[in-house]
Amino acid sequence: MLKDKVAVITGAGQGIGRAIALQFARQGARVAVCDLNSDNAAAVAREITDTGAEAIAVKVDVTNEEQVLEMVAECMLHFSRIDILVNNAGIIQTGPFLKISAEAWDKVMAVNLRGVFSCCKAVFPVMQRQNGGRIINIASIAGKRGGGILGNSCYAASKGGVIAFTKGIAREGGPYNINVNAITPGYTDTEMTSSLTLKQRDAVLQMVPLGRAGKPEDVAAAACYLASDYAAFITGEIMDVDGGLMMD
């Protein structure tokens, strides 16, 4: 499905990003596993290369524009092209907004929104020269709902920004054959959500028609579709992967 495509995936050292990296590799892609945690990135890259697929590990802080440019340069040096960018790196901040500090707000925005901007800005010229590419931004249903029962309005604001940004650059990418889409996962079992109490988890799952939490592999499957030729005529799409939670 993705044979010989080059995919750059941020936040790929664990959780959803790791699942996307492994799924892309299984589908034939050559993968750059990019993460702030170099040990995690190296471990995922080894998982991929142990199967005979091709992968490199790249340490990157997506809030640092210079490091983002270095990430792209390293990927180009190794692979000579970039066909797919998955902006998955993200952090979460929960709690009532009155208890969120300005510093916490800035950090969430820097990783979740400015990081997406910086990575897209660095990769876009490569895809323009190639006259094609796929960008997949991992947002959240929180960006549509404005938060949730956990009081994560700060996180929701950052992901709402990702949704709007996705639609904006999808329009700009169209003339260059660059498809830009976003995935909005619902509650998904990852390291990021492991701190929820059983009561909080049950309260969320009661709203999910399919009655279970998502798995990272559920999001990875959607990302694989959007990165493939099957999605050649899809751009500016915001795809819910949430077990039906956001169903109209």
Three-class secondary structure of residue 234 per DSSP: coil
d(CA 218, CA 39) in angstroms, rounded, equals 25
Please pick, among 155, 176, 225, 230, the residue that the annotation labels catalytic: 155
Q: Residue 142: CB partners within 8 Å, gap ≥ 6?
A: 148, 152, 155, 156, 159, 160
HSE at residue 17, side-chain half, CA atoms within 13 A, is 31
Taking the C-alpha atoms of residue 125 and residue 127, their distance in angstroms, rounded to an integer, is 5
Phi first, then psi, for residue 137 (nearest 5°) are: -100, 130
DSSP 229: G
**Radius of gyration (Cα) for the chain, nearest Å?**
17
Q: In what order do the strands lie in the sheet with 55-59?
A: 55-59, 30-35, 6-10, 84-87, 133-138, 178-185, 238-241
Establish whether 187 is a catalytic residue: no
What are the residue numbers of the active site? 155
